[in-house]
Chain A
Amino acid sequence: MDPMFSPALHRQRHEFVIDFVRSYKPKKVVDLGCSECSLLKQLKFHLEIELLAGVDIDGAILKKKMCGLAPLSTDYLQPRNDQLRIDLYQGSVTQKDARLIGFDLVTSIELIEHLTLADVKLFSEVVFGYMTPVAVIVSTPNADFNPLFRRMSGFRHSDHKFEWSRAEFKSWALKVCLDYGYEVEFSGVGQAPPGYQENVGFCSQIGVFHRLGVSEVCNTLCSTDAEDVSSYTLLYSKIFPSLRDNNILRRVLASEVLYWAEKLGRRWVEEKTGVKDDADTPDQAGGDGEERHRAPENPLQLEEKQTAACGAAMKSLVEHQEVGKLDRELFWTDGGGQQESRKLGRRRRSRFRGQWVCRRHAVPPQC
């Protein structure tokens, strides 16, 4: 919309939030007025977040956009370590809902200017007084900046009820801090052209609120407001696949262990017999030197388990070897190795080759 900013202003606002998330690592984040969910879409990539919520008054737009927040195919292939739940609510920020109490971060990006001043008051009460998050980010247009837009009269958007100057925003913010026990830092995105910055400030002004005395107040506040209000409608709730889910953990662990056991076993056979695969898969270049971990981002303990399991697998293999040739043969068939040694696994191998030949000579009925 504003070619004078690069990257675009809305993107800069999102980046501001994301930078905040990066440095403060909140676990529970709610975006008020999430609308098309574009901020949520970006935030779901931040693995430290465990609960992501969005609230908007327009349920229809949420319904249209909510599918975009669903887990990706690859989220199932490589589940995240920590859980993540995404909830979308339809509701008004002027009303209270107990489900939104106790968040680490509440963002309200370009929202308050769409409310009447009376509603802004309610908003302050709900967000700072009722939801009592650890931090709040509020962004709103800066009216001081407006003269720089030539050919613009009135507000930046037809639905804006007001646009505050820096002073107005500041007085509202300070009052909020006083009333509800927060401190605020002022910032913004959208730099004015050189020379103007002093006079007009940022295009979007942002207030970052931190609750005072976080540690001790938390519990008392939550418990006093225990009345179970739920004025919002839950439209969408999705739990992402994660290793916190026992079934998934078991599955991932089992397949990791089996994979490594298989791999170690194959290598063991190679070392034992001193024979490598035939030309299709020629010699191992660096030996075992640069063994790679398949899932570098898995938690440490998982890796430990892996190696432990591998050791166990190794041990059992050695035992097998002592039992005798039969087991070796058994092992062979699984490994699918194609060594030229004639003694081992001959029977199986010939079947394998036989299949290939049959295909060339006679076409079996296709199925």
Chain B
Amino acid sequence: MSGRARARSRGRARGQETAAPGMVRPVSREKNVFVAEYTQIGCDELFFLTAVLQISAGFQQVKLGERGGRRRDFNDVGINTRRAMEHVKDSKLGTSGSPIPLTANFFRIMSRPEWVLYQYHVDFNPPMEARRLRSALLYQHKDVLGPADSFDGALLFLPNRLAQKETVLHSETRNGEKVQITVTMTNELPPTSPVCIQFYNILFRRILRILDMQQIGRNYYNPNDPLDIPKHSLTIWPGYTTTILKYETSIMLCTDVSHKVLRSETVLDFMANLRQKCGNQRFPEICAKELVGLIVLTKYNNKTYRIDEIAWDHTPNNTFTRGDKDISFKDYYKMQYNLDIVDVNQVLLVSQVKRLGPATAPPPGPAMLIPELCFLTGLTDKMRADYMIMKDLSTHTRLDPMAREGRLNRFVRNIHKNPDARAELDKWGLSFDKQLLSLTGRVLPAERLFQGSRSYDYRPSEAEWSREMRGLPLISAPPLENWLFLTTRRTSTEAQALLQSLNRVSGPLNIRIQRPVMIEYEDHQESLLRTLQQNVGPQTQMVVVVLPSNRKDKYDSVKKYLCVDCPTPSQCVVGRTLSKPSSLMTVATKIALQLACKMGGELWSVEIPLKQLMIVGIDCYHDTVAGKRSIGALVASLNQGMTRWFSKCVFQHRGQEIMDGLKMALCAALKDYLKFNNYLPSRIIVYRDGVGDGQLHSVVNYEVAQIIESIKSMGHDYVPRLSVVVVKKRINSRFFAQMDGKVSNPPPGTVVDSEVTRPEWYDFYIVSQAVRSGSVSPTHYNVVYDTSGLKPDHMQRLTYKLCHMYYNWQGIVRVPAPCQYAHKLAFLVGQSIHREPNVKLDELLFYL
């Protein structure tokens, strides 16, 4: 595996790649060797297909790179996991459930029958050095070659076949030199070949440019129709994500509506505002926290840069070496782009430029950016946490199925209507379907929920059972005898109200709650911590803290102390939640349920027919602020009913695979399972979440082997059946159902395992959750390793069942419960605790 792939598998989020382990960062700040970026991406250069084409019969990893650059494979093409699994070779279709007609955001790409892309090799005699001259010479033969061609200096792609295998052409340079050009056909590429598919993608991007769209990151946006939110000085550009791939039966364009949030202010404006708000003293710290990790656009090129640090000791008057002269940034931008830098005292931003171009070239140094010339894109964490901003944004960006479908249709209509775009497509003999793809999915039957001897159904359309479980006793809940109840003086009325309601709701739920020890604490972080230290003992079962505000530091210090130093389950409640009498009972019920499962109680279960089964969920959290550490969490089931879980989380250290740490965690989980059941599981199913685009390769090639190895370490004769399923939430596929003549979301439990899946994978989509507003997004499951022999139908059903088992929500969630638990654990550790929780908590869902 390459270093790059390894970094990816460690779970770095997109666009924040760090140097490969052991690689020395070329930061030479003393010498002022900086890259001054000045070239603008000429989009059409993408069209030059330079590539060392390694075409073979199978789906090998074929790269058709753009000129000078290396393209990352975001679509995980070329990973063929299905052929290794005997039982799904012929069919990966499930059977149960009732069929439902759906449409998906896919458009078929149609080409002429027996359409083939012809690849030719072009030779010049006498040899010509200049690439420009080569294409100029070849262009003289438009009549022979036809209007459409793509030539990079050596390889020529044409949609038509030349009369002979070898065509000899004669050209003349302007000064009369005779040149013989030999065009030899080297390959016939069928529409499904990887090169062709990359070719389609390049062609399609070209069409988006023709439609006047701007590329930002990987997607294209329409700048002519912006939505302004002046209140927050935000601008939203509507756009589309597009991918063309070979799906199950045909090549299709998958396109989804996407929105780009841009700031109509420069970074300098942003910094000035921030300084005004927070004062000079705290400014550097807060500024770094807010800006680092953000992506900026510049006024002089179309590139995006990620801010990696702020150079507090640099101003635009600093110089860098250009050619053999030193030039200041201020002068450079004036000379090169006629851009005046008004504020010469601003500090500069540093962006580590990713290495492009040939691997042998020296890595570029960091790029220095001028805040005045940069515009922010996207949202900061602080803005994300701001309810008002998110609400204003969601009114623009959250589209219901009807609106979304309408936009997609309009998009494809626009392509069909635009004459230039059509001409480009016609030239290559390609066209798109005008309609969204229709396909048939299946709706799995609703599950029956069990609570001890009682059982009930929920309303399938709502995917939620808080009403149905009202008044039903839980499967089991440890009695709450010795517990603390902390509150400030200010929140004491709310606290009392909560306590009363808890007593009222706990009876029917069959949770026995004794009177707690009530403690009042001063509204300081230190005082709160002191109170905890003085009162929490080894016998304490639970600590409930009523916080006066949603300030993170207090929450963090409670969690840190009670998860690491003094392992005790704890529950924090913000006073304001309790202030509304009308919702108090609902809140109290939720808190009671949470208290119960944090102490090891079991709330409900669904029927899981497989015996001796262990389900494992893995997710990661990327801590971008604190030293870019990543945290991996593993959660494994301990019993038949999937009601008890073992949780472990590990820190990923620099230069280490996330799986290296999780290997130990998996062993610990297996040992705990043995202790719990007196036998080891005969089946293990691992749901791996947190795999980014283009990282599948490393899961398949590295992580599966690691999992097998750690299972082996339990004993030589222990060979359980193993399945590894990669779970992906962030995908562009969308499904629409027709309900009462209206476009709507597909109902929960909709499974799609045909048409839009990939032929080389054993994969399926499940829409498990229900949403109240907007379009539901399906979850993609890709079984990359499977020795279980489970039928696809059983795999789908089991996965759907597991989505019912998340105890923090009385309803169905998007991913199997262990994944959601793992996410929750990793998030808590990454956000608040920053250390490994105490082992005594391993068997409890303390992080809910």
Q: Which residues of A contact B (CB under 8 A)?
A: 6-7, 15, 18, 22, 41-42, 45-47, 58, 60-61, 63-68, 70-74, 76-78, 114, 158-160, 241, 251, 254-259, 262, 277-286, 290, 292, 294, 296, 334, 336, 350, 352-358, 360-367
Q: Does B519 contact A (CB under 8 A)?
A: no
Secondary structure class of chain B's binding surface, majority of residues? mixed
Q: Which residue of A lies closest to B466 (CB)?
A: A362
Is B785 on the interface with A (CB-CB < 8 A)? no
> Quick check: A296 and B771 within 8 Å, CB to CB?
no
Partner of B40, one of A41, A159, A256, A365: A41
| Interface residue? B740 (CB, 8 A) | no
Q: Is the CB of B276 within 8 A of A68?
A: no
The 8 closest A-B pairs by CB, nearest first: A258-B230, A76-B223, A255-B230, A285-B279, A367-B771, A68-B42, A357-B577, A67-B43
B299 touches A (CB below 8 Å):
yes
Query: Which B residue sits closest to A68, measured CB to CB?
Result: B42
A362 touching B809 in the complex, CB below 8 Å, given contacts A45-B339, A285-B279 = yes
A61 touches B214 (CB 8 A): no
In the complex the two chains form, is A363's CB within 8 Å of B808's CB? yes
Given contacts A65-B44, A73-B214, A350-B580, 12 further A-B contacts (CB under 8 A): A6-B323, A58-B136, A73-B375, A76-B226, A158-B173, A258-B230, A282-B277, A290-B272, A352-B388, A355-B387, A361-B591, A362-B808
Q: A254-B230, A357-B550, A361-B594 are in contact. Are A367 and B774 (CB under 8 A)?
A: yes
Taking the complex as formed, is B278 at the interface, i.e. its CB lies under 8 A from any CB of chain A? yes
The A-contacting residues of B in range 271-290, CB under 8 angstroms, are 272-273, 275-280, 282
Q: Report the bound CA distance from A292 to B265 in whole Å.
A: 12
Partner of A281, one of B216, B272, B278, B594: B278
- Contact between chains at A366 and B814 (CB < 8 Å): yes
| Chain A proximity of B447: nearest CB distance (Å) | 16
Does B820 touch A at the CB level, under 8 Å?
Answer: yes
Chain B residues with Cβ below 8 Å from A68 are 40-44
Residues of A within 8 A of B224 (CB): 76, 241
* Nearest CB of chain B from residue A287's CB, rounded to whole Å: 9
CB distance A363 to B809 under 8 Å? yes
* Interface residue B96 (Cβ < 8 Å from any Cβ of A): no
B169-187: which have CB < 8 Å to A?
173-175, 177
B543 at the interface (CB under 8 A from A): no
Q: How far is the CA of A365 from the CA of B777 in the complex (A)?
A: 11
Q: Is the CB of A255 within 8 A of B594?
A: no
A45 and B771 contact, Cβ closer than 8 Å, known pairs A77-B235, A159-B173:
no
Known contacts: A256-B230, A354-B580, A356-B550. The answer to whether A365 contacts B387 by CB under 8 A is no
Q: Are A67 and B280 in contact (CB under 8 A)?
A: no
Cβ contact within 8 Å between B269 and A283: no
B463 within 8 A of A: yes
Which of B410-418, B530-538, B568-576 is found at the contact surface with chain A?
A: B568-576
A-B contact pairs, 27 of them (CB 8 A): A22-B338, A64-B47, A65-B44, A66-B44, A68-B42, A68-B43, A73-B375, A76-B224, A77-B264, A78-B266, A251-B226, A254-B228, A255-B228, A255-B233, A258-B231, A259-B231, A262-B230, A277-B277, A281-B278, A284-B276, A285-B276, A294-B269, A357-B550, A362-B590, A362-B808, A367-B771, A367-B774
Nearest CB of chain B from residue A337's CB, rounded to whole Å: 10
Known: A45-B300, A68-B42, A255-B264. A61 touches B226 (CB 8 A): no
- CA distance in complex: A175, B338 (Å): 36
* Residue pair A282, B809 in contact (C-beta under 8 Å): no
Is the beta-carbon distance between A350 and B576 smaller than 8 angstroms? yes
Question: Which residue of chain B lies nearest to A280 when distances are taken between CB atoms in the complex?
Answer: B382
* Max count, chain A CB within 10 A of own CB: residue among B177, B223, B336: B223
A66 to B44, CA, bound (A): 8
Residues of B within 8 A of A259 (CB): 230-231, 233
> CB distance A262 to B579 under 8 Å?
no
Q: How far is the CB of A124 from chain B (nearest CB, A)?
A: 21
B263: chain A residues at CB < 8 Å are 77
CB <8 Å contact, B264 and A360: no
Q: A353-B576, A360-B572 are in contact. Are A72 and B301 (CB under 8 A)?
A: yes
| Chain A nearest CB, measured from B845 CB (Å) | 13
Let me know if B42 and A47 touch, CB within 8 A: no
User: Which residues of the other chain, B, contact A350 by a CB distance below 8 angstroms?
Assistant: 576, 579-580
Q: Which of B135, B226, B324, B777 contacts A60 (CB 8 A)?
A: B135
A335 to chain B, nearest CB (A): 9
- Distance in angstroms between the alpha carbons of A36 and B577 in the assembled complex: 64
Choose from B47, B216, B230, B591 the contact partner of A73 (Cβ within 8 Å).
Answer: B216
Complex formed: what's the CA distance from A353 to B580 in Å?
12
CB distance from B278 to the nearest CB of A (A): 5
* Cβ contact within 8 Å between A354 and B42: no
Closest to A352 in B: B387
B558 to nearest A CB, angstroms?
12
For window 605-661 of chain B, which residues contact chain A by CB distance below 8 Å? none
Q: How far is the CA of A361 from the CA of B338 in the complex (A)?
A: 54
Q: For the complex, is B298 an interface residue (Cβ under 8 Å from A)?
A: yes
CA distance A352 to B388 in the complex (A): 8
Does A336 contact B388, Cβ atoms closer than 8 Å?
A: yes
Q: Which residue of B lies closest to A291 (CB)?
A: B276
B302 at the interface (CB under 8 A from A): yes
Q: Do residues A286 and B276 form an inter-chain contact, with CB atoms below 8 A?
A: yes
Contacts of A7 in B (CB 8 A): 323
User: Cβ of A6 and Cβ of B325 under 8 Å apart?
Assistant: yes
Contact of A296 with B809 at beta-carbon distance under 8 Å, contacts A282-B278, A358-B577, A365-B463 already known: no
- Tell me if B813 counts as interface (CB < 8 A to partner A): yes
Mask: chain B, 510-546; 1 = CB below 8 Å from A; 0 = not: 0000000000000000000000000000000000000
Interface centre among B302, B464, B551, B591 (most CB of A within 10 A): B302
Which chain A residues lie closer than 8 Å to B87 at the CB level? none
Q: Which residues of B contact A280 (CB under 8 A)?
A: 382
Q: Is B77 an interface residue (CB 8 A)?
A: no
A159 touches B576 (CB 8 A): no
The reply to whether B820 and A363 form a contact with Cβ atoms under 8 Å apart is yes
Closest chain B CB from A96 CB (angstroms):
23
Say whether B299 contacts A74, CB under 8 Å.
yes
Chain A contacts for B579, CB-based, 8 A: 350
Q: Report if B143 contacts A (CB, 8 A).
A: no
**B822 interfacial by beta-carbon distance below 8 Å:** no
- Is A46 a contact partner of B814 (Cβ separation < 8 A)? no
Cβ contact within 8 Å between B269 and A292: yes
Q: Does B262 contact A (CB under 8 A)?
A: yes
User: Given the complex, which residues of A lie within 8 Å of B773, measured CB to CB?
Assistant: 367
Q: Report the minimum CB–CB distance from B720 to chain A (whole Å).
A: 31
> Among the listed B265, B279, B813, which residue makes an inter-chain contact with A283, where contact means beta carbons less than 8 Å apart?
B279
Please state if A72 and B40 are interface contacts (CB–CB under 8 Å).
yes
Asked if B342 lies at the interface with its beta carbon under 8 angstroms from chain A, I say: yes
Cβ contacts under 8 Å, A361 to chain B: 573, 577, 587, 590-591, 594, 808
> Which residues from A are CB-within-8-Å of B594?
361
A357–B574 CB distance below 8 A? yes
Contact: B214 with A76, CB < 8 Å? yes
Of the residues A73, A255, A278, A365, contact of B223 by C-beta under 8 Å: A73
Can you name the residue of chain B whose Cβ is closest to the Cβ of A355?
B387
B34 in the interface (beta carbon within 8 A): no
Q: Roughly how many angstroms separate A159 CA and B175 CA in the complex, as a whole number?
A: 5
Which residues does chain A contribute within 8 Å of B824, judged by CB atoms? 363
CA distance A77 to B811 in the complex (A): 43
State the CA gap A65–B44 with chains docked (Å): 7
Q: Is B835 an interface residue (CB 8 A)?
A: no
Q: Name the contact of A67 in the complex, choosing from B139, B209, B808 (C-beta under 8 A).
A: B209
- B44 and A64 contacting across the interface, CB-CB below 8 Å: yes
Query: Which residues does chain A contribute within 8 Å of B464, judged by CB atoms?
Result: 365
Using A251-B228, A282-B279, A294-B269 as known contacts, say yes or no to A74 and B297 having CB atoms under 8 A apart: yes
Most B CB contacts (10 A, CB to CB) among A46, A255, A358, A361 go to A361
A73→B297 contact, CB < 8 A: yes
Q: Among B41, B45, B136, B324, which residue has its beta carbon within 8 angstroms of that of A6? A: B324
C-alpha gap A49/B208 in the complex (Å)? 28
- Indicate whether B59 reaches chain A with its CB closer than 8 angstroms: no
**Smallest distance from the beta carbon of B43 to chain A beta carbons, Å?**
4
